[in-house]
Amino acid sequence: MRWNRGLMGAAFIFVSTLTFGAECAGDLVGEWNREAAPGGTPDDAYRAEGSGWSDRIRVTRDSGRINIESYYFSRTDLQPPLRFSYLPGESTENVVMVGNGTQRQSASARWNECRLVITTRHPAIDASSAETTVIQTLWLEADALVVETARGAAKPNRTLYRRVAVAGGK
């Protein structure tokens, strides 16, 4: 009987953690625009505080999966947004078309309280380059989506996104 109670307790904690992460995931959903530093332009913010995504992103949720669309290309490029999909607790692969070909990224995501931590491995392009790892941590702070990005051993930087108001006040 003791073993069953311990197993039930562990199962309860696991399920409540999944539920907690799901509630937090709903908070991240929406359209977001990068906030420029005071006195700076969005381009200055991108160079100084790049999250790895564009200045406009859309976060959606589908069956526990977190999807991020990054509007990297301009409207006249006729290119779709870059799409990244993450399933917390699972490994995923995202394939994006940038530059002269496709880029494969292996990622894992997990919830750390109400922070989504995404670890992405970018494979080496050729023998002269090395695999790189990028860790992006997303959370809400006041009315902003914060994306803290760490690239390798470099000091992490933060990018703030503000929720885009829906047309018509809906």
**Is pLDDT at 50 greater than 50 in this prediction?**
yes
pLDDT score for 120: 95
Q: Which two tokens stand for residue 75?
A: 């409207």
> What whole-number distance in Å separates Cα of residue 95 and Cα of residue 93?
7
Q: Which among 114, 137, 147 has a CA at the least distance from the CA of 26?
A: 114
Higher per-residue confidence, 21 vs 110? 110
Q: Which among 84, 86, 31 has a CA at the least distance from the CA of 64?
A: 86
- Residue pLDDT, tens place only, 111-144: 999 999 999 998 877 777 788 899 999 999 988 9
* Average pLDDT taken over every residue of the chain: 80
Say if residues 56 and 33 touch (Cβ distance below 8 Å).
yes
> What whole-number distance in Å separates Cα of residue 108 and Cα of residue 86?
7
> What whole-number distance in Å separates Cα of residue 114 and Cα of residue 14?
15
**Is pLDDT at 45 greater than 70 in this prediction?**
no
Higher per-residue confidence, 7 vs 164? 164
Q: Three-state SS for 53?
A: coil
- Residue pLDDT, tens place only, 65-88: 999 999 887 777 777 889 999 999
| Superfamily classification of domain 2-169 | Calycin beta-barrel core domain (2.40.128.20)
Q: Tell if the pTM clears 0.85, that is, is over it.
A: no
Q: Three-state SS for 92?
A: strand
